[in-house]
Structure 1
């Protein structure tokens, strides 16, 4: 795989787009899954404006693919209520190790590793890089009591903290919870375009902001990627966490996005307190269309309307 270009090393946004381009395991809208956005709303509106599920179809064979199977194996390893210490078993530690092995060998994370090595932010040794990722994402820390949380749990699984949903930024976890009747989609929030103009939204969106309930608790705003692979998301967030700032304004797949990164300081290496995308707008004059096995961002020709 080609190393990061000088332009990408100088521009985090270009590097983030490259990580997107390398997501070979991204699912195809309308083929692998179907979403039903229903009604838009504003963040202050707490009314449920969606009568139906967000996901109307996800091909069950998708979950048998190695990356999704390894990811799903981690989802039952955590207690969602903060204040309860996590008790990792040998089986769960093996599941975590297997997942990291797959992610590190994937195209998105291989690129990120090379990027970080070039920036002197990671060791070129793969075993050492794995330790760094494990420290960031899976080492436990305290939210309410000792060892009751970690970055992966917060971002990819979700937590309930003081009666509110906290974290929970992954589409597949949302779908799985929705399919079991445990999460309730309440509608999506319209992204704002240039000068307040609303860019049209459709079922091919790759990044949406939603409101939802999880059990008895709710989340006012959560931006989530749709149909992306877990290795893409872990690579993207790791890149921004290690090479970026607390707020990283980037353009990915036709969206202007702010990737927020919050850290837990540790003498052994900082841990992910939270990291997530904040959807700012769809880029005017850009469109998302099918490209090969996945979907990509294609700049619009002059005069072309954004979809």
Structure 2
């Protein structure tokens, strides 16, 4: 928490990680440029910051349920523990610092302070030193989607994820980052949780007692029952007493991986993007709100 306050300082007064060494792995191959699913596989392989189940964290999936079943099928929390070293990893730490900058109620106008803008820029600067974001830049620039200049690319990334737009009838009330990673609570009609697809936010909110994990959703394919090693989970939970009947999340992946994954799908994919991420057949859903990311999340493919 002490370090998070430092992230509000001017960018040139902060300390960042060293850039990853440039290598052939960060240059997209022709096969990757021709097939987005191959590029997304490459992103998974480049996520050197991904946590290892049993070594960096422990989860207990509890019992399964169908989407429309009510009742709590999990006695305890989803996360049993998370290594304290996780909070010291630079991209994770800067990601943590962003999560308390938002009002979760959809339709409430966001007030972004100058210090919070510094946090956003510092986060983008930090992840831009990693393999997944450098690969993303090369891929998008070769495709003519992103500028060749890396500073211009970072500004583009900041705008895509943090610029405010209207949701729930109020302008300036939401952003791609808030919806996808932090989550929102819809106010119209019966309340429901919208977005909230990030495992780090889930861990933190669960640790604070704001999330009640209620069990995993039965997978479509038999023999695919999740366990403590599973890194693609479909779950049900309540957040601040409001139900999220079904939500999919990638457990243990790094912030830079998810930013790169969803950015690639937004610019060069469709609403459905079928790919294998490691051992997991996944459909990366990407919804647009005009020229903005409306939502993005993984769904286990059948």
What is the TM-score normalised by the length of structure 1? 0.87
2:119 equivalent among 70, 87, 95: 95
Residues 192 and 198 of structure 1 are in contact (CA less than 8 Å); yes or no, is this contact kept in structure 2? Answer: no
Task: Tell me by how many angstroms 1:257 deviates.
Answer: 0.9
Structure 1 CA distance for aligned equivalents of residues 164 and 271 of structure 2: 21
Task: Tell me by how many angstroms 1:133 deviates.
Answer: 1.2
2:67 equivalent among 32, 40, 43: 43
Residues 190 and 198 of structure 1 are in contact (CA less than 8 Å); yes or no, is this contact kept in structure 2? Answer: no
Who is 2:253 aligned against? 228
Secondary structure in 2 matching 1:115: helix
Q: Deviations over 1:166-216 (max 9, x none)?
A: 0000001000000010001010113223xxx33243211111000000012
Structure 1 CA distance for aligned equivalents of residues 294 and 174 of structure 2: 9
Q: Where do 1:207-222 residues align within 5 Å?
A: 207-222=232-247
Q: Where do 1:255-266 residues align within 5 Å?
A: 255-265=280-290
Residues 226 and 233 of structure 2 are in contact (CA less than 8 Å); yes or no, is this contact kept in structure 1? Answer: no
Who is 2:276 aligned against? 251
Who is 1:273 aligned against? 294
Secondary structure in 2 matching 1:146: strand
Correspondence 1:179 to 2:215: no
Cα RMSD, aligned residues only = 1.1
Unaligned runs of 5+ in 2: 1-22
Q: Which runs of 4+ in 1 moved over 3 A?
A: none
Structure 2 CA distance for aligned equivalents of residues 199 and 184 of structure 1: 24
Task: Tell me by how many angstroms 1:28 deviates.
Answer: 1.1
Secondary structure in 1 matching 2:55: coil
1:63 equivalent among 63, 66, 87: 87
Unaligned runs of 5+ in 1: 282-307
Task: Tell me by how many angstroms 1:278 deviates.
Answer: 1.1
Secondary structure in 2 matching 1:147: strand
Secondary structure in 2 matching 1:213: strand
Structure 1 CA distance for aligned equivalents of residues 209 and 59 of structure 2: 16
Correspondence 1:15 to 2:39: yes
Structure 1 CA distance for aligned equivalents of residues 121 and 140 of structure 2: 21
Structure 1 CA distance for aligned equivalents of residues 225 and 202 of structure 2: 24
Residues 274 and 284 of structure 2 are in contact (CA less than 8 Å); yes or no, is this contact kept in structure 1? Answer: yes
1:190 equivalent among 211, 218, 222: 218
Task: Tell me by how many angstroms 1:61 deviates.
Answer: 2.3
